Amino acid sequence: AGSVIQRDDLVQYTATADATSSGGVLRVPITCSTTGAVGNADDGTALILVTPVNGLPSSGVADTLTGGFDTEELETWRARVIERYYWTPQGGADGDYVVWAKEVPGITRAWTYRHWMGTGTVGVMIASSDLINPIPEESTETAARQHIGPLAPVAGSDLYVFRPVAHTVDFHIRVTPDTP
């Protein structure tokens, strides 16, 4: 624990627990020293120990590193606060679920579906404002479920928090020239 690990672009991480290698593989939980999405990294991203550890190679690769979110933009925060001011909690109304979902970091949009899986159920679909991929990660979905669960009314609804499912659409376009 406490060892500093660095990416090629100088973003640093700190090991949060001690670990021992198993079969030549060392897996250690790390936390980024910089806040925000800059600490997220794909599978296979090269990592280097800043201070070498005796008996270990100084380089390795990361499993997928996720969970970092950029600080909320001022206008987004302002809109959320104004929405909360005008939409006071109603004890489980549709709008309550939307407000509760947006309180989770990484979620900027949400929709409520009454009777989603039958009578007495509520579905809450969540999304981010990322224009390329608005589908949140599974960890964000879990965080939303854990946040909304205790706030939802005790008597009544089963809660289903879910992410949109991406569907590929193949377009076939035929261009007709506008020449005589």
- Cβ neighbours, 10 Å, residue 98: 19
What is the phi/psi pair of residue 4, to 5°? -100, 130
Distance from C-alpha of 30 to C-alpha of 14, rounded to nearest angstrom: 5
Distance from C-alpha of 126 to C-alpha of 137, rounded to nearest angstrom: 10
Domain count for the chain: 2
What is the phi/psi pair of residue 161, to 5°? -100, 130
Domain assignment of residue 66, yes or no:
no
pLDDT at 155: 59
pLDDT at 28: 83
DSSP state of 22: B
**Residues 33 and 105 reside in one and the same domain:** no
Domain assignment of residue 176, yes or no:
no
pLDDT at 176: 86
- Residue 28: domain span: 4-61
Helices (H), the chain: 74-86, 94-102, 138-151
Residue by residue, pLDDT tens for the chain (180 residues) are 788 888 888 888 988 888 777 776 778 888 888 888 888 888 888 888 888 777 777 788 887 787 777 777 888 888 878 877 777 777 788 888 999 999 998 899 999 998 999 888 899 999 998 888 899 999 999 999 999 999 888 655 789 999 999 988 999 998 888 877
